[in-house]
Amino acid sequence: MSITVFFVGVEKYNNQTSLSMDTKDFLIEMDPNQLKIDGDQVQFYGTVNQAGETIKHSEKIVVFFRLSTKEEKEYWEKQQKITEFVVTGSLTKPEKNRNLNQFDYQRYLSHNKIHWILDATSIKAHSGTENKAFWDLFNLKNIRQNILVHVERKTTVTVSSYIKTLLFADTSSIDDQVMNGYKEIGIIHLLSISGLHIQFLIAGLTYILWRSGMTREHTYILLFIFLPIYGSLTGWGTSIFRAVVMSLISQTGLRIRKPISGLDAWSWTLIVGLWIDPYQVFSIGFQLSYLLSLALILFSTSLFNQSKYSIINNLYISFVLTLISIPVLSFHFFEFSWIGMFANLLFVPLFTWFIMPLMILLFFSSYIFSGTLFFHFLIDLAECSLGMIEWLVLKIRLFPYGTIVTGKVPLMLFIVTTMVLITFLIALEQQKKRKRVLMLLITVFIVFIQYQKYSPFGEVLILDVGQGDATLIKEPFGRGVYLIDTGGALAFEKEEWQIRKNQTTVSSRVLIPVIKSLGVTQLDQVLITHGDEDHMGELIELAQGIEIKELVFPIGTTKKQSFFDAAEALEKSGVALRAVSAKRAREQLFGPSLAVLWPLDNGEGENNDSLVLYGKIGQFNWLFTGDIEETGEAEVTALYPNLKVDILKVAHHGSQTSTSERFIQKIKPKTALISCGLNNRYNHPNEDVLERLASLNAMVYRTDLQGSFRYTYADYLHIGVEKDFQTILK
């Protein structure tokens, strides 16, 4: 621990930027292995060799560039070697996390020693690049890229994606749906090069060299040359580094006839890894790689060989490793897959003894036997096998309740669970008090898994979904969870070459992670205020990640084609639909909380037909107004002249067409919540609206300035836990 703290402290001191936001022109060296082309967007990580007139730079940076033509895309797709580019553009600081428990991109880049994002407007190859052509032949990064291109040309899309993944740690070609399937059933580790892969390669290479008559001494020398080169060709990922360095240390012990224990090799590898890059200790890959390999070392003899049947021992290993990984997975992803315990029994031997050897054979055959019947037979065999595996993965993925969502548990509960887990493993090894400790572990795990779901505190979260609306309401003790609007953005028509395969959405980036972080797997109701895209555009994708029991919307909303299509798709998947109005739905929508005030009649799904909700949550009276405009506000206050409002969800993102003087003077809110995008093109919220709210001394919260904000309450105590809203951006 002290070594880690020391290394991180030193690295943090040195992890500073020397670039200035005013600089517009750069000379950047691009590594083709860090290049991603998706639709009309180019992204790459590069090294700044010159910024403006300052030549002495060596700072990492991430570059984004929007392609204008198909020809430009074809040019970038041909980039196969390290190249210097003259880049013109604007530097921006990575954005801070704007939502509760959302992936922190700024921290991720900082841990990779990147402090700036460069939005490029022009990129041209530097004229001096050609002079390096000869030396490029010996650059391992260029060699790696040439190998990957060769594999793509000689094999099929599916086969090349697995060769690149299993032999060179390049997962970019694996289909996203398939990759998520591997992850969700707990076997994603099979697609990362680990100690298992390295040991397999060492064993295979050693066998071939010995069979060819080479001495042990010469074999060790070749392994010492091969392993570092192979590590470089794979990009030196965390698992690869650990496996290669541990193997080198172990081989050194054998070479000098002083065997080094697995624990010593593991410890020295950890120290060297932290010395090179202490920030990797924060990554889940590092944590799982070193933690699980340590467990295999510590328990390999005493715990994993208790049965004479190998399948029982393998199940035991899978069970223990799954248990150990649960706290780490829950901390990072708020969920874990228990089904992986059994999936590993099938897929680990399959990948170890069939898929891995087949990919190695195909790789070498692509150089030796390309174009022959034998090579085509191998391709067909691999296509058939991989197709069946992917089909099976996607089928197992559909197994109900295969993934358990824990949410983000409190730190103290996380520590207690970890300590009890360690105690359980010790009891298993020593075969003492196993039943007692097992009962304790089961009890703690039940609390660990259910704490967030049945938390005694209720929450209202106004999520930052950009220029859109999304409000999450979670009642205490798991009584109900409700989402008002989903956010969304208009999709503009593009040519086929411009369409991005891995386009991030509000659901994948915000809604699903935040909802899962609260231990929620099911929404009792999703309420859509009206049919505009920025309020309902994420319905379909949200339903793919979170179960929705009922979709509630104002009558007439289905006249909007986009909403009609989404509602129809959800109904086919088993979601109940419910059209409401103030006339025919005076009943409460959820528990004692909110009721429908508007609309009265069948509308067209436009702004003034928005669903208006009113009720008490915690200690306050809330009014949610959708995108209702001034005329609609006047009708609502005419219908309900004695409306008492503590907290107003301001209509239409603070537009001038809403939140009129007459309306707010009538309801007199104490707090106003505005959801709008940062630097949005509509200039929301309008200054007149802000002045009207200021005249009432209303506290105003804005997602564009403060990110997401939440109110926590405990209605059983008749108090609000927080006097004010907690904001993500201070």
The pLDDT score that the predictor gives to residue 140 is: 82
Give the global pTM: 0.89
The pLDDT score that the predictor gives to residue 204 is: 82
User: According to CATH, what is the number of the domain 458-490+503-727?
Assistant: 3.60.15.10
Q: Where are the alpha helices (DSSP H) in 668-706?
A: 687-695, 703-706
- In this predicted model, what pLDDT tens digit does every residue of 600-610 receive, in sequence order? 888 888 899 99
Residue 543 is which amino acid?
A
- In this predicted model, what pLDDT tens digit does every residue of 98-117 receive, in sequence order? 999 998 999 999 998 999 99
Residue 190 is which amino acid?
L
| Mean pLDDT score of the chain | 87
Instruction: Give the mean pLDDT of 433-446.
Output: 90
Helix (H, G, I), strand (E, B) or coil at 368: helix
Cβ-count burial 151-171 (b if 16+ within 10 Å, e if not): bbebbeebbbbbbbbbbbbbb
Of 301 and 79, more confident:
79
To which residue do tokens 């009642």 refer?
475
- In this predicted model, what pLDDT tens digit does every residue of 481-538 receive, in sequence order? 999 999 988 777 788 888 887 778 899 999 999 999 999 999 999 999 999 999 999 9
Of 7 and 593, more confident:
593
Q: Which of 510, 552, 479 lies closest to 104, judged by CA?
A: 510
The pLDDT score that the predictor gives to residue 141 is: 82
Tell me: pLDDT of 638 over 60.
Answer: yes
Q: How far apart are CA 597 and CA 581, in angstroms?
A: 8
585 pairs with which residues across the strands? Answer: none
Q: Is the N-terminal amide bond of 357 cis, ω within 30° of 0?
A: no
Residue 583: pLDDT band (50, 70, 90) is confident
Query: Which region, left, alpha or beta, applies to residue 639 given φ > 0 means left and ψ of -120 to 50 means alpha?
Result: alpha
Does the fold of domain 458-490+503-727 match that of domain 2-132?
A: no
Question: Domain locations in the chain?
Answer: 2-132, 140-401, 411-450, 458-490+503-727
Q: Which CATH number fits domain 2-132: 3.20.20.140, 2.40.50.140, 3.40.630.10, 2.40.40.20?
A: 2.40.50.140
Provide the percentage of residues in the chain whose pLDDT is more than 90.
54
Q: Give kind and range of the element (H or E) at residue 553.
A: strand 550-554
Instruction: List, as one string, the DSSP characters of 434-449.
Output: HHHHHHHHHHHHHHHH
